[in-house]
Chains A and B, each alone.
Chain A
Amino acid sequence: MGYVVAFLSQKGGVGKSTLARALACEASKGGLSVKVADLDTQQGTVTNWHRQREANGFDRIGSVETFGKAKEALKSADNFDMLILDGAPRASSATNDIAKVADLIILPSGASRDDLMPTVLLAHELSKKGVPSNLFAIALVRVATESEIRDAQEYIRMSGYQLLKGYLPEKPSYRQAQNDGLAVTETRYASINEKAKELIQSIIDVLTND
Chain B
Amino acid sequence: MTKIDTSKLKKRVPAKKNRFGEPPVITEAGENLEAPETAPKGDKKKARYKTGRTAQFSTRVTSDFLKEFKRQAFEDDLKIVELLEASFEAYKKIKR
Task: Give A contacts to B, CB under 8 Å.
Answer: 10, 68-70, 88, 90-97, 111-113, 116-117, 120-122, 124-129, 148, 151-152, 154-156, 158-159
Asked if A158 and B33 sit within 8 Å, CB to CB, the answer is: no
Asked if B22 and A125 sit within 8 Å, CB to CB, the answer is: no
**Which residue from B20, B22, B25, B32 sits with its C-beta under 8 Å from A10?**
B32
Tell me the smallest distance from the CB of A96 to a CB of chain B, in Å. 5
Give CA–CA (A59, B78) in the complex, Å: 71
Asked if B36 and A121 sit within 8 Å, CB to CB, the answer is: no
Asked if B26 and A113 sit within 8 Å, CB to CB, the answer is: no
Q: Is B61 an interface residue (CB 8 A)?
A: no
Asked if B18 and A125 sit within 8 Å, CB to CB, the answer is: no
Asked if B33 and A68 sit within 8 Å, CB to CB, the answer is: no
Task: Give B contacts to A, CB under 8 Å.
Answer: 18-26, 28-38
**Which residue from A70, A93, A97 sits with its C-beta under 8 Å from B34?**
A93
- Residues of A near B29 (CB, < 8 A) are 121, 124-125, 127-128
Asked if B33 and A93 sit within 8 Å, CB to CB, the answer is: yes
Give CA–CA (A151, B20) in the complex, Å: 7
Q: List 16 A-B contacts (CB under 8 A).
A: A70-B37, A92-B37, A93-B36, A94-B37, A95-B33, A111-B20, A112-B20, A116-B20, A121-B24, A121-B29, A122-B32, A124-B25, A127-B29, A128-B26, A128-B29, A151-B19
Q: Which of B29, B31, B33 has the most CB of A within 10 A?
A: B33
Give CA–CA (A156, B21) in the complex, Å: 11
- Residues of B near A111 (CB, < 8 A) are 20
Give CA–CA (A129, B32) in the complex, Å: 11
Asked if B24 and A113 sit within 8 Å, CB to CB, the answer is: no
Known: A93-B37, A116-B23. A121 touches B30 (CB 8 A): yes
**Which residue from B24, B32, B33, B37 sits with its C-beta under 8 Å from A120?**
B24
**Given A124-B28, A126-B33, 18 other A-B contacts at CB below 8 A?**
A69-B37, A88-B37, A91-B32, A92-B35, A92-B37, A94-B37, A97-B37, A113-B21, A117-B20, A117-B24, A124-B25, A124-B26, A125-B29, A128-B26, A152-B20, A155-B18, A159-B23, A159-B24
**Which residue from B23, B24, B35 sits with its C-beta under 8 Å from A91?**
B35
Give CA–CA (A148, B36) in the complex, Å: 35
Tell me the smallest distance from the CB of B3 to a CB of chain A, in Å. 40
Asked if B28 and A95 sit within 8 Å, CB to CB, the answer is: no
Give CA–CA (A154, B17) in the complex, Å: 11
The 9 closest A-B pairs by CB, nearest first: A124-B29, A91-B32, A159-B23, A94-B37, A92-B35, A124-B26, A155-B20, A96-B33, A125-B29
**Which residue from B21, B28, B34, B37 sits with its C-beta under 8 Å from A121?**
B28
- With CB as the reference atom, state the residue of chain A lying closest to B22: A158
Give CA–CA (A129, B31) in the complex, Å: 10
Tell me the smallest distance from the CB of A191 to a CB of chain B, in Å. 27
